[in-house]
Structure 1
Amino acid sequence: MKKLTSALVLLLIIVVVGGLGLRHFAQSRMESAIADLRTAIGPGASFTYATARPRILARGARLTSVSYRNQAMTLTASEAIVGRVTGNAVDGQHIGALTLRDVQVMEPGATASIASLVLKGLVLPNTGPDLFRAPAPPRLDSLVVDSAQVTSLHVAVPASQTDLTVAGATIRDYGLGRTSHLDVETLAVQVRVAPTRRIGVGHLRIDGPDFAGQIASLLQSGHLIHTVGRRRFDVTALTIDGASPLLRVGHLEAEQEASASQDDLETTLTDLSAWPSPPQDQSLLRMIGYDHFAGRVHAVSTIQRQSGTMSLHPLDIDAPEMGHMTIMADLDQIPVDDPANMPETARIVSATIDWQDRSLADHVLDGLARARQVAPDAYRQQIQAALAASPDPSMQALGHFLAQPGQQRLRVMLRPPRPISVLMLGVALSMAGDPSTAGLLGLSISTP
C-alpha cells in the first residue's frame, strides 16, 4: 500500500511539474510568435492586446481586446483565437487558424464591423532582406489564405452616404496565382445620395479569378489585368430599386473562357424585369403602352483581343408580352481591357436581326398614332399605304409585316459601307425611311 501511495504521489509530481514545464514552454513559444508577428507587420504598425493565454495543444493563443494600427487603418477585436502557429517573420508566418470576434475596422473614409472572421491557412509573407526597412505592413494582395469566413459584415462610407451589409461570405484559395472562389449570402447596398439606390443580392458565387492578382494589379496600375482561364459567375435574386423598382433578375449565370488572344463569354438572365428610370411617364416604354420589360436574355460572344473585335452569336431576347429577338452581329473598336467604355467606342460592322412579334408592333403604331393625335386604325392604313407605295423593297417588306405582324418574321440586315457607332444606331434606324440613311446603314428588310 505504501509503495502504491508513493507511486501515485510521484506520478502527481511528474504531471504537475511536466504541466508547468509544458505551460512555460507554450508561454515562451507564444511570446516568440507574437514578437515575430510584430516584426512581420513592419515598424510602421502596432499590435496590442489586454490578455494572452497560450493554447498548449493547439500551438496558439487566446487574446482579448486586440488592436492593430498603422497609418491608414485601425483594427480592433474583442477576442482573437490563434492556432497552429509556425514559421517566423523571415521565412513567412504560418497561422493554421485565426478567429476574430466583434471586429471594428476604421479608415479615414470608411468604417466596417464584422461579427466574426475565421481565417484558415493564413500565411504572412516573407519580408526578406527589407525586414526592418519596410515602410508599410504587408499589402492585402501579398497574403495567402486557404479559406476565410465572414458573418454579419457592415461597411459605411459617409462621404458617399453608402452602406453595405453582408449576412455571410466565404472566400477560398486566396493568394497570388491561385484560382479563388467567393460565396456571398444576402448582400445589400444602399446609396442615399440622389438619386438614391438600393441594391440587393440573394446569393453570389464567383469561381475562377485570381483575386489577389487582380488586387495587386489595381494597387500597382489602377486597372485590372487580363488573365487566362475559366471563370463562372452565378447571381440569384438581384434587385435594384430607386424611388420605385428598377430591375429584378431571378438568376444570372455567366461563364468565361479566356486565353491570351480570345475571350469567350456566355451569359443568361432569367426572370428579368426592368422598369424605366424616372421620369417614367417620359420613357419610350411607357409611351408605347408597356409598364415594364419582362423576359429572358441569353448571349454568346467572342472577343478577339488583338484586333479589338467582337462577335455576337447570338444575342437572344425573349419577352413573352412583346416578342422574340435574335441578333447576330460583328463589332469592332472593342476596348478589351475596359468594357465599361464599350457603348461609347464600339461600332457595328454587320448585323442580322430577326424579330417574331407578339404585341410590340401594334403598341408602337398605337403610340405613334397617339403622339400625332390620329385614330390608330386610320394611322395604320396611312402607314401601310405609304410603305406599299414605296419603290424600296425593304419598305414594302416592312409594310407587309405590319399588316399581319404576329404571323410572320421580320428580318433586318445591316451591312454599312463603314462601321457605324452603336450609340448612333437608334437614331439612324428612326430615319431608315430616308434612302440616304438606309444607304449609310446598308439596310435591307425582308419577311423570310
Structure 2
Amino acid sequence: MKKLLSALLLLIIILIVGGLGLRHFAQRRMESAIADLRTAIGPNASFTYATATPRMLALGARFTSVSYRDPTVTVTASDAVVGRVTGTALGGQRFGHILLHDVQVMQPGVTATIALLELDGLVLPNGGPARPDGSEAPPRLDSVLLDKGGMRGLHVAAPASQLDLTIDRAAIAQYGLGRMSHLDLNALSLQINLAPRRHVAIGRLRVDGPDFAGQIASLVQSGHMVHAVGHRHFDVSGLAVDAAAPLLRIGHLLIDHEATANQDEVETTVTDLSAWPMPPRDQSVLHMIGYDHFAGMIHALTTVERQSGQMSLHPLVIDAPGMGRVTILADLDQIPVDDPMSLMDTARIVSATIDWQDRSLAGHVLDGLARSRGMEPDAYRRQVIGNLDASPDPSMQALGRFLAAPDRRLRIALRPPRPLNLLMLGVALSMAGDPATAGMLGLSASTP
C-alpha cells in the first residue's frame, strides 16, 4: 500500500512539473509566434490584445480584446481562439482553427461587423508585392487557402455609396487557387439608398464548383473572369427586388454550367417568376395592353462554341399562364465568350424559329391598339383580320388566321440573308409589315 501511495505521489509530482514545463514551453512558443507576427506586419501596423493564454496541446492561444491596425484598415474582436498553428508568419503560416467573436472591420467609408467568424485550415502565404514605400503588402485574397469557413451576423455599411448589406449565415469551403469552391448563404439583404432606392433580398444562395480564388485573380489581373473548365451549379431561392413597389420575384433559380476548353453548356430554370414594369407603370407597354405584371417561368438550354463565337438556343421557353407560351430555337454568332456584358452590342441572329401558343396576349394587344385609335375593340379586330386576309403575302394571311382563332399555334421564322444584330431586331420586327423589312429579316409566318 505504501508503495502504491508513493507511486501515485510520484506520478502527481511528474504531472505537475511536466504541466508547468509544458505550459512554460507553450508560453514561450506563443510569445515567439506573436513576435514573428509583429515583425511580419511591419512598423506601420500594430497588433494588440488585453490578455493572451497559450493553448498547450493545440499549438495556439486564446486572446481577448484583439486589435489590428494599419493605415488602411482596423480590425477588432472581443475574443479570439487560435489553434494548431504551424509555420511562421514570415515564411507562411497555417492556422488549423480560428474562432472570433464580435468582429469589426473599419476602412474609410466602409464598416463591417460579424457576430461570429470561424475558419478551419487557413493558410496565409508570404506577403504580396512590395508597396511603393518598400514595405511588404499583406497576402492578396486570391493567394489565401481555406479549407472551410463560416460566419453569422454579417453587416456591411458603406455610407458614401449608400449601401447596406446583411447576411444571416454564410459558409465557404475549399477556397484557393485550383480548388473547386462551395458557397452557401442564408438570408441576404442589400439596401441601395441611392435614388431610385432598391432593396434586394435572397432567401438562400448556393454555388458549387467555381474556383473562386482563380476568378478573383482573373478580375484583379484582367478585369474580367477567366474561362475555367469544369461543372458549376448555382441555386438561388427567394429572390426579391423592390423599390417603392415590387419589381421582381423569383421563387427558384437553377443554373447548371458544364464548361470544356471549347464549349459551354448551360441549363437555366426560373420558376415562380413575377416581374413588374419600372415606374411610371401606367406608361409601360405591359400596362397599356392590360396587364399588371408578368408571371410565369423560363427554361433555357444554351450551347456556346468558344472558338467560333456561336451560340445555340435549343430551346428557350417562356411560359406565362396568363399570357401564353413561347418556344424559341435560335442560332447566333459573334458571341463575346469572355465578356457577356457586351453580348447585346455584338451578338447577331443567324436564324430563329419562334412558336407562340396564345392564352390572352393577342386579344390584349388588339384591344390596346383599338383604344389607342379610339375604336371599338371588336370593330378594330374585324378590320385588322380583314386587311390581313386580303393581303397577297402568305405570312400576313397566316397572321390573320391566327388572330381569328388565337387558340391555334403561330410560328414565326427568321432567316435573314445576313446575320442581324440583336439590337436591331426589335426595330425590324416593329416594321415587319413592310415587305422590304420582312425581306431583310427573312421573316415568314405560318399556322402549323
The TM-score, its normalising length taken from structure 1, stands at 0.96
Show the counterpart of 1:46. Answer: 46
Write the deviation string for residues 239-260 of structure 1: whole angstroms up to 9, x where unpaired: 0001100100000000001122
* 2: CA distance, partners of 1:92 / 1:54: 21
* 1: CA distance, partners of 2:55 / 2:23: 9
C-alpha displacement of 1:214: 1.1
Show the counterpart of 2:56. Answer: 56
Show the counterpart of 1:422. Answer: 422
Would the alpha carbon gap of residues 34 and 21 (structure 1) be closer, same or farther in structure 2, given more than 3 Å must change?
A: same
Unaligned runs of 5+ in 1: none
Q: Is the 8 A contact 2:128 2:140 kept in 1?
A: no
Root-mean-square deviation (CA, aligned residues, Å) is 1.9
Would the alpha carbon gap of residues 259 and 45 (structure 1) be closer, same or farther in structure 2, given more than 3 Å must change?
A: farther
Aligned residues: 447
Match for 2:64: what amino acid?
Answer: T
Q: Is the 8 A contact 1:148 1:172 kept in 2?
A: yes
1:203 aligns with 2:220: no
1:345-364 paired onto structure 2 within 5 Å:
345-364=346-365
Show the counterpart of 2:339. Answer: 338
Show the counterpart of 1:215. Answer: 216
C-alpha displacement of 1:221: 2.3
Match for 1:224: what amino acid?
Answer: M
* 2: CA distance, partners of 1:179 / 1:35: 35
1:29 aligns with 2:24: no
Would the alpha carbon gap of residues 304 and 128 (structure 1) be closer, same or farther in structure 2, given more than 3 Å must change?
A: closer
The TM-score, its normalising length taken from structure 2, stands at 0.96
Q: Is the 8 A contact 1:45 1:136 kept in 2?
A: no
**Greater Cα shift, 75-84 or 331-340:** 331-340
Q: Is the 8 A contact 2:129 2:136 kept in 1?
A: no
SS at match of 1:159: coil
**Greater Cα shift, 73-82 or 34-43:** 34-43
Q: Is the 8 A contact 2:127 2:136 kept in 1?
A: no
C-alpha displacement of 1:435: 0.4
1:410 aligns with 2:410: yes
Would the alpha carbon gap of residues 356 and 128 (structure 1) be closer, same or farther in structure 2, given more than 3 Å must change?
A: closer
Q: Is the 8 A contact 1:267 1:300 kept in 2?
A: yes
Would the alpha carbon gap of residues 64 and 205 (structure 1) be closer, same or farther in structure 2, given more than 3 Å must change?
A: same
* 1: CA distance, partners of 2:403 / 2:267: 33
Write the deviation string for residues 96-124 of structure 1: whole angstroms up to 9, x where unpaired: 00011100111123111000100000111
Match for 2:137: what amino acid?
Answer: A
* 1: CA distance, partners of 2:249 / 2:429: 29
C-alpha displacement of 1:47: 2.0
Q: Is the 8 A contact 1:113 1:155 kept in 2?
A: yes
1:61-210 paired onto structure 2 within 5 Å:
61-126=61-126, 135-210=136-211
Match for 2:115: what amino acid?
Answer: A
SS at match of 1:104: strand
1:220-239 paired onto structure 2 within 5 Å:
220-239=221-240
Show the counterpart of 1:313. Answer: 314
Would the alpha carbon gap of residues 390 and 329 (structure 1) be closer, same or farther in structure 2, given more than 3 Å must change?
A: same
Match for 2:350: what amino acid?
Answer: V
Q: Is the 8 A contact 2:127 2:138 kept in 1?
A: no
Show the counterpart of 1:265. Answer: 266
C-alpha displacement of 1:326: 0.2
C-alpha displacement of 1:127: 5.3
Unaligned runs of 5+ in 2: none
Q: Is the 8 A contact 2:201 2:240 kept in 1?
A: yes
C-alpha displacement of 1:218: 1.7
SS at match of 2:160: helix
SS at match of 2:205: strand
Show the counterpart of 1:324. Answer: 325
**Greater Cα shift, 44-53 or 324-333:** 44-53
Show the counterpart of 2:435. Answer: 435
SS at match of 2:402: helix
* 2: CA distance, partners of 1:36 / 1:212: 27
C-alpha displacement of 1:39: 4.2
* 1: CA distance, partners of 2:39 / 2:323: 65
* 1: CA distance, partners of 2:383 / 2:184: 57
Q: Is the 8 A contact 1:45 1:137 kept in 2?
A: no
* 1: CA distance, partners of 2:277 / 2:247: 7
Write the deviation string for residues 316-374 of structure 1: whole angstroms up to 9, x where unpaired: 01111111100001112222112122122222111100001111100100010011110
* 2: CA distance, partners of 1:445 / 1:43: 75
C-alpha displacement of 1:375: 0.3
Q: Is the 8 A contact 1:77 1:101 kept in 2?
A: yes
C-alpha displacement of 1:28: 0.9
Q: Is the 8 A contact 1:43 1:136 kept in 2?
A: no
* 1: CA distance, partners of 2:267 / 2:196: 32
* 2: CA distance, partners of 1:184 / 1:217: 23
Q: Is the 8 A contact 2:76 2:103 kept in 1?
A: yes
Q: Is the 8 A contact 1:348 1:419 kept in 2?
A: yes
Show the counterpart of 2:393. Answer: 392
SS at match of 1:306: coil
**Greater Cα shift, 379-388 or 103-112:** 103-112
Would the alpha carbon gap of residues 5 and 384 (structure 1) be closer, same or farther in structure 2, given more than 3 Å must change?
A: closer
